[in-house]
Amino acid sequence: MRRTLSKKLFPVSALFSVALSWPGDLTPHLPGAGAPGYSRGEKLRGLYKESLFVNLYTTRWAKIIIFSLLVALLIGPANSQPGRVSIRVDTTKNKGPMKPIWSFFGYDEPNYTYMKDGKKLLSELAALSPVPVYLRTHNLLTSGDGTAALKWGSTNAYTEDAAGRPRYDWTIIDRIFDTYIERGMKPLVEIGFMPEALSIKPQPYRHDWGIDKPYNTIFTGWAYPPRDYGKWAELVYQWVRHSVERYGRAEVESWYWELWNEPDIGYWQGTPEEYFKLYDFTSTAVKRALPAARIGGPHVTGPLGARTQQFLRDFLEHCLRGKNYATGRTGAPLDYVGFHAKGAPRVVEGRVRMGISNHLRAISNGFQIVASYPELRNTPIIIGESDPEGCAACSARMHPQNAYRNGAMYSSYTAAQIARTYELADPNGVNLLGSVTWAFEFEDQPYFDGFRDLATNGIDKPVLNVFRMLGLMGGERVAVESTGALSLEAIRDAGVRGAPDVNALASRQDGAVSVLVWNYHDDDLPAPPSDVEVVVDGLTARRILLHHYRIDAEHSNSYEAWKKMGSPQQPSVEQYRQLEKAGQLQLLSSPEWLGAADGRATLRFSLPRQGVSLLRLTW
């Protein structure tokens, strides 16, 4: 796209005409010339007054040269061919441990867990991670028959008989957790929502939300406080005790527990004080059943505004110094702090523009709030949902701002965002434990319908391959410098609207160095690739083996493969097999042995816009 001057696009044909007929100074012929900030015209004025142009400008060739220079100066950064980006990795400078914060995932619909494609995806998530993957899901205590639907799920764990006596049924919850445990995965147990028999306003209870309906229609009887806090606490106690009996004390002690989801908005139809009261009864019940169990919260929405920030602060104050509603003592257990963070994509002039700035500012604010409490300096933080926007089930078919989800743009966004999350944690000195990607799969929906998911009908989407790349990293994060990188402050405060963010995250392990490189921009527009040179210093071997993995339009991209097939909604057996293969992480080229004289290796390659590379060096 050409840069606009005075808010209008100046036609190239007009520039050519001006250049050929130009008798002298060209700049006054351009719209907006002489205006403040008109740097390109001023640059051109300086160029043609140099001695070479003084001698040649009256010739036709000189005018064509001037025209060419003018066009080059006027072309905007989104479409101009950037100079080579130089990335330097110093493996001798540690930045801190590369905790697998990315190995957390979540979803609204728990009954998808044990369905065909759900089990397939869980197996793939378990296989890509060197550490146990944690799963967080809504609706684990919601009443119903277990039928899955968008933004709905149920287990019927709690009912009452005609006399009001509790009945506990763990059948569906066990089926969900068994599916995790069988794969070496662990629950991040969300205790919620309110069973119909306990809700102070049970009707209406089961919502019928669809992608064409307002989001707020999901908030029904399950979102209300209990009519009996004692019965609620006993339900929680019995659940934790049953989990210990079924899976063993050591296993359940390795889980994390929490209460509710985003109690600062419609998910909680009570007051903040009622939430704090419910947390006290819940955490006391959890610890009564298993004293070493770990519970935290409050998992509020992204702390961008004053209201959410105040809710988070009030909750932390209550846990640290408030009167406990259940015990009467001071404070409540707080084994970790949870909050959420979301971006804000929108459609601008017919294209998707991501809002990574909103996402990172929410994370930054949350870290700063936690860091303001000295007592919480070592308390782990779990970002309970960390995503480009706030509704995984809102298909791009009805919500065009979500059209980023199928292709490589979601991949590059995720790579850039996770890397910046590490960077935001460092200066705040917080103990970042996990960052939940709220994306899973939606059973029996159309192929590539624009849900925020990791796979569609059992076909892995490009974004899943970012997590496969991250699964190959570990050990210590090491220093990276890139001439194509935006500063952390710039991308947090303003996003990526001019030049792209071409940057890297690097880690060092015994016998391996991994460098994750991305070419990210907020705008979903075509642009030339970036030429990249990566120099890795501090290697301890003279010969290294390079595996270069890639996500772009031609690699690790089932969506592009599906479109080339004609976008079939009923692919043949052979087409399905090809799509499965296209959804796997792919090498850009064959593995290659390289020399590393003086501990240095240099790699050069072209990286398309929204592309992601993983350079895996082993010896």
CA distances from 37 to 5, 6, 40, 41, 313 (A): 11, 11, 9, 10, 43
Rounded to an integer, the average pLDDT of 68-92 is: 63
* β-bridge partners, 104: 134, 436
Q: Where are the domains of the chain?
A: 12-74, 85-95+473-618, 99-471
pLDDT exceeds cutoff 90 at 19? no
Residues 6+ apart with CB under 8 A from 394: 211, 215, 402, 451, 452
pLDDT exceeds cutoff 90 at 5? no
Where is average pLDDT lowest: 59-63, 243-247, 310-314, 443-447? Answer: 59-63
Spatial distance between the Cα atoms of 422 and 402, rounded to a whole number of angstroms: 25
Fold match between domain 85-95+473-618 and domain 99-471: no
Spatial distance between the Cα atoms of 345 and 396, rounded to a whole number of angstroms: 12
Predicted pLDDT of residue 74: 38
Higher pLDDT, 45 or 479: 479
Predicted pLDDT of residue 83: 83
Amino acid at 62: A
DSSP 585-604: -EESS--EEEE-GGG-EEEE
Predicted pLDDT of residue 55: 35
| Superfamily name and number for 99-471 | Glycosidases (3.20.20.80)
511 phi/psi in degrees, rounded to 5: 75, 20
pLDDT exceeds cutoff 80 at 76? no
Rounded to an integer, the average pLDDT of 9-14 is: 34
pLDDT exceeds cutoff 60 at 46? no
- Pairing relation of β-strands 85-97 and 530-537? parallel
Structure tokens at 540: 């301890």
Higher pLDDT, 15 or 192: 192
DSSP-derived 3-state class of residue 467: helix
Local confidence band at 37 (pLDDT 50, 70, 90 cut-offs): very low
**CATH top class, domain 85-95+473-618:** mainly beta
Q: For 539-578, how does the pLDDT look when each residue is reduced to its tens digit (9 = 90+)?
A: 999 999 999 999 999 999 999 999 999 999 999 999 999 9
Local confidence band at 512 (pLDDT 50, 70, 90 cut-offs): very high
Predicted pLDDT of residue 1: 34
Q: What is the mean pLDDT of the chain?
A: 89
Q: For 373-427, how does the pLDDT look when each residue is reduced to its tens digit (9 = 90+)?
A: 999 999 999 999 999 999 999 999 999 999 999 999 999 999 999 999 999 999 9
Predicted pLDDT of residue 131: 95
Spatial distance between the Cα atoms of 266 and 223, rounded to a whole number of angstroms: 8
* pTM (two decimals): 0.87
30-54 exposure pattern, b = at least 16 Cβ within 10 A, e = fewer: bebbeeeebebbeebbeebeeeebe
Closest CA to 528 of 10, 83, 72: 83
pLDDT exceeds cutoff 90 at 49? no
Q: For 109-166, how does the pLDDT look when each residue is reduced to its tens digit (9 = 90+)?
A: 999 999 999 999 999 999 999 999 999 999 999 999 999 999 999 999 999 999 999 9
